[in-house]
Amino acid sequence: MNILHISASPRGAQAASRALSNQVVARLLARHPGASVTLRELAGGEDGDDSTALPHIDAGYALALSSAANEPGVDGAQLRSDGLIEELVRADIVVIGTPMHNLTVPSTLKSWIDHVVRINRTMRPTPEGKVGNLHDRPVYLALASGGWRTGERARQPDFLEPYLRAILAMIGLKDVTVFSAEGLALGAEREAEGRARASAEVGRHFGA
d(CA 41, CA 129): 32
Residues 176-197: tens digit of each pLDDT? 999 999 999 999 999 999 999 9
- Domain segments of the chain: what residues? 2-206
Report in angstroms the alpha-carbon separations of 15 from 1, 74, 179. Answer: 26, 35, 15
Q: Which of 96, 89, 91, 90 is nearest to 121 (CA)?
A: 89
pLDDT of 70? 58
* Contacts by 154-158, CB closer than 8 A, 24 or more apart: 156/103, 157/103, 158/100, 158/103
Secondary structure (3-state) at 21: helix
Q: What is the pLDDT of residues 63-82, one digit of tens each?
A: 777 765 556 555 677 888 99
Check: CB of residue 140 under 8 Å from CB of residue 37: no
- What CATH code is assigned to 2-206? 3.40.50.360
Rounded Cα distance between 33 and 120, Å, is: 35
